[in-house]
Structure 1
Amino acid sequence: MKPPVEHFKISIGSNTQPGNGELTVLFSGEGKPFPLHQIGPAVHNYYLVHTVLSGRGTFEIDGKRYECVKGDTFFIFPDVLFTYSAHDTDPWHYRWVAFRGFLAEPLLSSLGFSVAHPVVHKDDIRSVVHLYRKMQQTLKQTPFPELADLEANGLLRILLKEFGEVNAGRLTLNSLAILPDMERQIKQAVRFLSYQFAKEISIDDLSQSLGYHRTHLSKMFKQYTGVSPMQFLLRVRIERAKELLSGKILLTIDQVATSVGYRDALYFSKQFRRATGYSPSDFRSEYRNEHS
C-alpha cells in the first residue's frame, strides 16, 4: 500500500475475519505524520487507542485538550467527537489499535478509562510497543485470518492490562483494595449476564441474589455500564447470535435462538431484527455473500 502524503511513515494490518464477541481487533498500525497533520473533528463507531512513541501532539475530546508526549496513550470512544494533531516542529510517531466488542465499555471503565479520563502515561513502553508490533504483524502476515483474529484479540487484552496496571498504581489503597460494595456487585452482575446468557434469566432473581431491589440495581447498573441489565443481556445475546449465524456450522434459527437464551424462535427473530435491522436468515445470507 502506497503511504498517503500526510505521513512520513505509515503501515496498517487489518483483521479480515473480525468476530463479534467480547473484544475484537479491527486493525492495528504505526504512523509518523507530517507536522500539523490533523484527524478530525470526527466520530468513530469503534474504540481507537494511540500510544506515542516519540515526538508531540495534541488530543481533544469532550471539550478537553491534552498535550501528549512519548509514553502517553490516548483513548478514543465510539460516538464521541475528537480531534488529534501532530506538533508543528516535533510531530509525533505513534502506534494504534482499533477494536470493538460488547465488553469493551465495561472493561475500559473498570480499568479507569472513560471520556473523562482518556489519557494514561507509561514511562517504559517497550512492552506495549512489542505488543502493538506483534499485533500488526499477525494481522498482516498470517495466511489463516481466523487464527490471526484469535491471536490479535489475546494481544489486545494483554495491552489493555498493561495500561490498566498504570491506572491501578495511581489509585489510593482504599479505592484499589476496598471497592464500593455496589461496584463489586455490578461487576459480578456483568460477569453473570456475560456467561449465563443462554439460561432463562430473571432480573428480579438477579436482584435478589445480589441483595438489592430491582429498581435500585437497574439504576446503579446503568450508571456503571451505560445500559440497563436487560439491555446489556440483549446485547450479549445478539452478539453471540451473530457469531453463531456467521459460523461454519449451519444451525437452524431454532437452534441459534435456544443457544442464546430464547425458547421462542419467533420472538428471538423479532429481537434480532430490531437490534440489527436484519432477520437472522438475512443476516446469515448477507454474511456468507460478503465472505464467499
Structure 2
Amino acid sequence: MFSTFPYKAIKYQFSSDLPLITLTGIGFQNITDHSYSWHNLHRHDKHCLIQYCISGQGVLTINNSTYTITAGKAFLLNIPSNSHYYLPQNSTHWKFIYLEFSPEVLPLLCKIYNKLGPVISLANYPSLLTQIANFYTKALNNKLQSVFINTKLAYNFWIDLLKYNLAYDANNLTKTDIAKNFLEQNFANSNLNIDTIAEQIGYSKYHLCKTFHKQFGISPMKYLQNLRISTACKLLINNPTWTIKKIAHHVGYNNDDYFCKVFKNLKGITPNTFRKQSIHYDTLQTIYDFSATKKNTLM
C-alpha cells in the first residue's frame, strides 16, 4: 500500500476561530541513520502524533517505560511530553508514515490511550491504513490545503480510530486489566494495598507485580501513586477553595504532610506552588497527564 510513495514531509497551518481538529503535518520516511532521535519534553511544536511502522523497528520511551515499534504497530503521542523515540542500534532501518494533528484532538487521543496505551496494532484494520494512505496521496496532490476538507478527513479518521478502540471490549480484559480498573475505582481508599489488590483478582502479590509491570510498564503501587497525584492536580486547579488537607484525604492520603512529600517528589514542586501556577496551566495537558498515568507513569 505504501511501497510506491515518495519520501516527503508536508506541513499545514490554518487560521480559524473554531476549535477544529486538523491534520497539521504528514510524512513518509525510511530512517537508517542512528542519530535519528526525538526528545519531546521541551519541544515547542504542540501537536498529537501517530507514527505507523511499515518495516524495520524503532523504540519509544515514555518516562521509565520502553516500547519496541515493529511493522504493523503505531504509537500515539502528545507533544510536548516526557517521551523519546529513536532508531535503536539493533535496527538497520525504520520505515514509517506519520500524521500530526492539532491539539484539539487530544481528548480523543486520551480516550484511546487510557484503554490501549501508547502503542496500538493497526495490522488488522485495513480501513484505517487505507485512510492513512489516502491522507498522504491527497497531501502529495495538494488536496488538503482547504481547512474544511482537511477537518472532515481528520474527524472521519479519528472516529474510526475510536471505533477500533471500542472494539477492545471486556472480553479482552486480562486479570491485570481488572486490577488496573480496581485501582482506578478505589484509589481514594487510604487502606488500599498490594495484598488487597492481589486478593481481588486471585493472584499472589508477586505475580501481580510481575504481570502488571510487564503489561503496563509500571508497578501497581507506583501506578496508584501516580493516579492519586494526577487526580490531586486536577482538584488543585478546579477547586481553589479546597485545603491541601482536604485534597490529600480525597485522593487517599490520611497524612497531608506525606501527601505533600509525594507530590513534590513526582512534580518537583509543592501542591501550593502548583496551585499558584495553575493560572498558566494548559487544561488539555492536565487531561492528558491524568490519562497517561493510567498506563505508564505516563505522556
Range into which the TM-score falls when normalised by the shorter chain: 0.5 to 0.7
Q: Is the 8 A contact 2:248 2:254 kept in 1?
A: yes
Identity of aligned residues (%): 21
2:245: which partner in 1? 254
User: 2:116 matched to 1:108?
Assistant: yes
| Correspondence 1:126-275 to 2 at 5 A | 133=151, 158=159, 160-164=161-165, 184-200=174-190, 201-275=192-266
SS, match of residue 79 in structure 1? strand
Secondary structure of the 2:238 match is: coil
Q: Aligned residue for 1:43?
A: 39
**Number of equivalences:** 225
**Structure 1 residue 210 displacement after superposition:** 1.8
**Secondary structure of residue in 1 paired with 2:12:** strand
Residues 287/230 of structure 1: CA separation in 2 closer, same or farther (3 Å cut):
same
Alignment root-mean-square deviation, CA: 4.7
Is 2:70 aligned against 1:80? no
In structure 2, the partner of 1:140 is: none
Contiguous gaps of at least 5 residues in structure 2: 1-7, 42-46, 60-67, 78-82, 88-92, 136-147, 283-299
The aligned amino acid for 1:282 is T
Which consecutive residues of structure 1, in runs of 5 or more, have no partner in the other structure?
A: 1-5, 18-26, 67-71, 87-91, 138-154, 169-175
1:31 Cα deviation (Å)? 2.7
Q: Which amino acid aligns with 1:196?
A: N
Residue 61 (str. 1) matches residue 51 (str. 2): no
Q: Please list the CA deviations of residues 200-239 of structure 1 after superposition, one character each: whole Å capped at 9, or x if unmatched.
A: 2122112122222211211111111111110110111111
Q: CA deviation at 1:161?
A: 3.2
User: TM (normalized to structure 2)?
Assistant: 0.56
Query: How far off is 1:162 after superposition?
Result: 3.2
Q: State the 1:40 CA deviation.
A: 4.5
